[in-house]
Amino acid sequence: MDNDIISRYSKFYQENGKKSGRWPTEFLVRAILGSSYNLAQNQKFERALDLGFGDGRNLNLLRSIFLDVHGLEIAEDICERARSEFQNCTFAVGQSHSIPYEASFFDLIAAVHSIYYCQTASFDAILEECHRTLRPDGRFLFSVPKSSSYLLVGARIDKCEYAIINNDPLKIRNGVRIKFFESMDTIKVSLGSFNFREISIGSVEADWWGLKEHYWIVSAIR
Distances (CA, A) of 167 to 30, 80, 158, 185, 216: 31, 30, 16, 28, 21
Cβ atoms of 100 and 132 within 8 Å: the answer is no
The 10 Å Cβ neighbour count of residue 159 is 5
More confident residue, 21 or 202: 202
Question: What is the band of 36 on the pLDDT scale with cuts at 50, 70, 90?
Answer: low
CA nearest to 108, candidates 179, 178, 37 = 37
Query: Which distant-in-sequence residues (6+ apart) come within 8 Å of 35 by Cβ?
Result: none
pLDDT at 38 over 70: no
d(CA 189, CA 141): 16
Domains and CATH numbers, the chain: 3-221 (3.40.50.150)
Question: What is the band of 42 on the pLDDT scale with cuts at 50, 70, 90?
Answer: low
pLDDT at residue 14, as a whole number: 72
pLDDT tens, 100-145?
Answer: 999 999 999 999 999 999 999 999 999 999 999 999 999 999 999 9
pLDDT tens, 143-196?
Answer: 999 999 999 999 999 989 999 999 999 989 999 999 999 999 999 999 999 999
More confident residue, 15 or 115: 115
pLDDT at 21 over 90: no
For the full predicted model, state whether its pTM sits above 0.85: yes
More confident residue, 17 or 15: 15
Cβ atoms of 174 and 167 within 8 Å: the answer is yes
For range 50-55, the mean pLDDT: 96
More confident residue, 16 or 177: 177
pLDDT tens, 55-77?
Answer: 999 999 999 999 999 999 999 99
pLDDT at residue 191, as a whole number: 98
